[in-house]
Amino acid sequence: MRKTASTSPARTGKQRLLASCAIAAGLAAIALGGPALAQVAGSGSIVSGSGTITPPGPGATTVTTTTPQAIVHWTPTDTAPTGGAIDFLPAGNTLNFVGTGSYTVLNRFVDGSGGSIARQIALNGTVNSYVGSTTGPRGGNIWFYNAGGILIGATGVINVGSLVLTANDINTTGGLFGPGGTIRFNGASGSTSAITVNGAINADVPGNPGGSYVALVAPRIVQAGAIRVDGSAAFVAAEQADIRINNGLFDINVLVGAEGGTAITHSGTTTGPAHQQGDVDQNRIYLVAIPKNDAVTMLVSGQIGYDDAVSAQVDPDGAVVLSAGYNIVGGQIAGNPVGNAAANITINDTIFRSDTAARASGDLLAQPLATVPAGGPVSVPPPPHLGRVIIEGNGLLVGDRSATFNIGAGQLGGTTGNLELRSTAGNASMVVSGGQFFAPFGNLSVVAGRTVLADGSTQAGSASLVVAAGGQLLADRISVNADADGGVDAGGNGLTGRGGT
């Protein structure tokens, strides 16, 4: 007969005690942010500089650096070679950085063997940087690099002193900064990895107005979120580039351009506080796309510029610079094009909230796509840029091959200052057909330059201004000039006059 052993009362009590302790421990782990509340989906180690990485509470990881510069390697839990973006910082979780002074932390994403990751890294939670402690003021320069690109999701929020997001590895020989404070971006040949912003970025340092920066550097850049910087921002589409920041003004030297196609898409808002005349800081928002071997295009819409910058007198420092095919020197578009192909700029529904200078080595086209929304009560007001191309300040729009500005029925264009539409070696054309263009306090100039032919002679381009189908155009002074020296249009007739319809 089978014998059955029974558990003694003492052993039964011990098992019950162990079970109850296990349950309590499990509940405590959940309450204290154990595996069920992962702070970051991966592990990190400081490989240069010194400091600690700790999870102080539920949903939070804190990197504390005790050196002015540090490099952190992060290995995500999800390291599969294929799939969508890796959710490294899930929504509801926080990654904090703490340091002293103007510290800089480079965060590199690597696989288990220390190699690069081909997929995008997603930051869907919140990233903060502080000086002193997590209760201290905002500060620090936080850089993120991933070869496969970075995605700031719709729930992602970054609150830092300054920020770099890049798909191009950063040369750290001799430190994070090279000679003259240059940041050296060296991406992989043929890469089309993207930096994509769908969430919010806030960069500022209390007590240092205009001293922050945001730099997005990659072969592809998509800005569809909300970026606010108390300083300068640069979106640079290239494989390799050197960027130097000097009192808010950038030098952007692209060494290897981006693969052909749409290199930059801006449809969100990029803004910041304006500073009155006399401030030391000179802030700019730069969009730079340089072609490698085939033509690239910059697509611009949304809202770009600084608060309350309604004229050059109000905001002498804040400006928007769109450069397709040209480097930036001292905050200005350089004189000679670079790259092995043309670069184009297409401006659709956009409000530029500052003086704006744009130059394309290929074609420049400004043209709203939508129509201005009709009035009437709505639960959610439409974005103010729909159906409009507006410059709050002075505008210089240059296309070397062609420059075109079209306003159709139900659409609106204009400036609060002067506007010059120029083609340096081709055709310049403005057409207002059924829509409205207003520059009531400034001059409107449509200018076509001369092309130097192979035999050394020159040939003038064509310049035209057409108002049709009930369109309206108003400017303090209007000029159409097909030869900057001769002052004539394509038909040989000078055209200047006061504003009208």
Question: Which amino acid does the sequence have at 323?
Answer: S
What would the DSSP string read from start to end of 226-239? Answer: EEEESEEEEEEE-S
- pLDDT at 25 (0 to 100): 42
Q: How far is CA 112 from CA 80, 121, 456, in A?
A: 11, 15, 61
User: Which tokens is 284 given?
Assistant: 């700019």
**Averaged over 451-478, what is the pLDDT?**
84
**Averaged over 66-78, what is the pLDDT?**
96
User: Which tokens is 170 given?
Assistant: 């950063």
**Averaged over 216-226, what is the pLDDT?**
98
Q: How far is CA 206 from CA 200, 249, 389, in A?
A: 19, 20, 34
Strands 60-65 and 463-468: unpaired
CA 243 and chain centroid, separation: 14
- pLDDT at 381 (0 to 100): 72
What would the DSSP string read from start to end of 327-374? Answer: EEETTEEEEEE-SSS-EEEEEEEEEE-SEEEEEESSEEEE---S-PPP
Query: Interior CA angle at 221 toward 220 and 223, to 5°?
Result: 160
Lay out the sheet containing 249-256: strands in order across.
169-170, 183-186, 240-246, 249-256, 326-329, 332-337
**pLDDT tens readout for residues 2-61:** 343 344 444 444 444 344 444 444 433 333 333 334 589 999 999 999 999 998 667 789
- Dmax over CA atoms of the chain, in Å, equals 121
**pLDDT tens readout for residues 392-428:** 999 999 999 999 999 999 999 999 999 999 999 889 9
- pLDDT at 380 (0 to 100): 67
- pLDDT at 500 (0 to 100): 35
Would you place residue 349 in the very low, low, confident or very high pLDDT band (cuts 50, 70, 90)?
A: very high
Checking if the pLDDT of 498 tops 70, the result is no
User: For the whole prediction, is pTM greater than 0.85?
Assistant: yes
| Closest to 398 measured CA to CA, from 362, 359, 443 | 359
User: Which tokens is 82 given?
Assistant: 């294929």
- pLDDT at 195 (0 to 100): 98
What is d(CA 102, CA 492) in angstroms, rounded to the nearest whole number?
60
**pLDDT tens readout for residues 171-213:** 999 999 999 999 999 999 999 999 999 999 999 999 998 899 9
**Averaged over 377-384, what is the pLDDT?**
73
- pLDDT at 4 (0 to 100): 38
- pLDDT at 224 (0 to 100): 98
What is d(CA 280, CA 276) in angstroms, rounded to the nearest whole number?
10
- pLDDT at 248 (0 to 100): 73
Tell me what the pLDDT averaged over the chain comes to: 86
Query: Within 13 Å of residue 1, how many CA atoms lie on the same side as its CB?
Result: 3
- pLDDT at 484 (0 to 100): 55
> Which is higher by pLDDT, 66 or 2?
66
Would you place residue 457 in the very low, low, confident or very high pLDDT band (cuts 50, 70, 90)?
A: low
**Per mean pLDDT, which range of 94-98, 145-149, 481-485 is the poorest?**
481-485
Checking if the pLDDT of 454 tops 90, the result is no
> Which is higher by pLDDT, 465 or 501?
465
Would you place residue 292 in the very low, low, confident or very high pLDDT band (cuts 50, 70, 90)?
A: very high
